[in-house]
Amino acid sequence: MKVAFFDASVDEIPYIQQWEQATGDEIIQIPDFLSKENVHLVAGCDAVSTKQIPVIDDEVYPQLAEFGIHHLALRSVGYNVVNFELANQYDLTITNVPAYSPRAIAENGLTVGLNLLRKLSTIQARMRRLDFTLPTSLLSDEIFTKTVGVIGVGRIGTATAQLYHALGANVLGYDPVYNAANEAFLTYTDLPTLLTQADIITIHTPLDESTYHLIGEPEFQQMKPGAIFINQARGGLVDTATLIQHLENGHLGGAGLDVLSSESEFFWKQFTTPTDLPADYQRLAALDNVIVTPHSAYYTNLAVQNMVRQSLTECQHFLTGEKLLYKVEP
């Protein structure tokens, strides 16, 4: 098959080449997002794949149909860039890659959780200020004596719970959907119990109207003094202003944030002046016990490889009439 591969990035190239060598397929690498300006590049191709951050222009749908394209393989989890009314009108099937590597995010969260538990980022910040003393505020704990609360026990929440359980932590889980198999490594509980008992709280729910600011003032108030809060899911799940207050007043022991509501203003971009950064980030960056990462928890070799392979496998399945694994039907 011949695939128009939009938004091809440097990190994907080795996996594209591996695919071409293994299958004989031709993958046309196009560095830009799919748009009305470049949709003509699909001419002569059998399939289209894109990672796509901007919404797909309405004019693209009829043009894809004219070029005989009836499948768009997204290499992302999110599919909010697609107009499904137009996709249906022009008989365009959409697939995504819903789980390129839950372990990538879970291991990143565990790393951040252990770093904050052992106060490594605080110790390093003090050392950068030439302070090598060991005050009692740096006394820390071992993970096997601690309770970890996982909010949202789906793909990533499950992987996270398994990792903490393997280290001997007592793991609590809260999720409206019960999965008996998870009882092997966690104890299901209600949200207030999780918030009041956990030493590390890590959130892994989707963001929608029902989960917007799921963690706000009432929830932070219930957390133990010194609790560590980790959000790798979506910024909007958390009332960031309230989180910052609970960090600045010393109630919380630390926070690990891979996502922020303000992230579109600065994540994956380069700056020269710190004051150009969003105000919430500037306050978080001033705290030794906060680790902010630029939505990079997923970014591993395996995750990138899976994004490429799974999307191309869907292209192959569509063309041969095999069952699609990740058809999106919102």
User: Active-site residues: which are they?
Assistant: 234, 263, 295
Residue nearest to ligand NAD (CB): 154
Among 258, 263, 280, 314, binds ligand NAD (CB under 6 A): 258
Min dist. Cβ of residue 293 to ligand NAD (A): 8
| Comparison of 210 and 320: residue with beta carbon closer to ligand NAD | 210
Alpha carbon separation from 18 to 1, 14, 22, 26, 300 (Å, rounded): 15, 6, 6, 11, 17
- 3-state SS assignment for residue 94: strand
291 is a contact residue toward ligand NAD (CB under 6 A) = no
| DSSP-assigned letter for residue 277 | S
Query: Encoding tokens for residue 161?
Result: 């719970």
Q: For 106, how many CA atoms within 13 A lie in the half-sphere containing its CB?
A: 21
Specify the amino acid at residue 248: E
Q: By C-alpha distance, which of 286, 279, 275 is closest to 262?
A: 279
Cross-strand partners of 151: 174, 203
Among 46, 175, 239, 263, binds ligand NAD (CB under 6 A): 175
| Comparison of 76 and 316: residue with beta carbon closer to ligand NAD | 76
152 is a contact residue toward ligand NAD (CB under 6 A) = yes
| Comparison of 231 and 316: residue with beta carbon closer to ligand NAD | 231
Determine the interface stretch with ligand NAD among 63-71, 122-130, 231-239, 273-281 (rule: CB under 6 A).
231-239
211 is a contact residue toward ligand NAD (CB under 6 A) = yes
Min dist. Cβ of residue 211 to ligand NAD (A): 5
Min dist. Cβ of residue 295 to ligand NAD (A): 5
160 is a contact residue toward ligand NAD (CB under 6 A) = no
Q: By C-alpha distance, which of 239, 164, 236 is closest to 206?
A: 236
User: By rule CB under 6 A, what count of residues binds ligand NAD?
Assistant: 29
What whole-number distance in Å separates Cα of residue 314 and Cα of residue 151? 31
Cβ of 309: how many Cβ atoms within 10 Å? 18
139 is a contact residue toward ligand NAD (CB under 6 A) = no
What whole-number distance in Å separates Cα of residue 25 and Cα of residue 190? 50
The answer to whether the CB of 280 falls within 8 A of the CB of 236 is no
330 is a contact residue toward ligand NAD (CB under 6 A) = no
| Comparison of 25 and 107: residue with beta carbon closer to ligand NAD | 107
Q: Which residues contact 12 (CB under 8 A, 6 or more apart)?
A: 304, 307, 308
Specify the amino acid at residue 9: S
Min dist. Cβ of residue 138 to ligand NAD (A): 29
What whole-number distance in Å separates Cα of residue 218 and Cα of residue 20? 53
What whole-number distance in Å separates Cα of residue 226 and Cα of residue 232? 20
- 3-state SS assignment for residue 203: strand
Among 77, 125, 167, 277, binds ligand NAD (CB under 6 A): 77
Specify the amino acid at residue 207: L
Torsion of CA 21, 68, 12, 105, to 10 degrees: -120
Determine the interface stretch with ligand NAD among 2-10, 123-131, 207-215, 309-317 (rule: CB under 6 A).
207-215
Min dist. Cβ of residue 8 to ligand NAD (A): 20
Determine the interface stretch with ligand NAD among 19-27, 85-93, 204-212, 306-314 (rule: CB under 6 A).
204-212
Among 6, 33, 174, 281, binds ligand NAD (CB under 6 A): 174
Min dist. Cβ of residue 250 to ligand NAD (A): 27
Interface residue list for ligand NAD (CB under 6 A):
77, 99, 105, 151-157, 174-177, 204-207, 210-211, 214, 232-234, 258-259, 295, 297-298
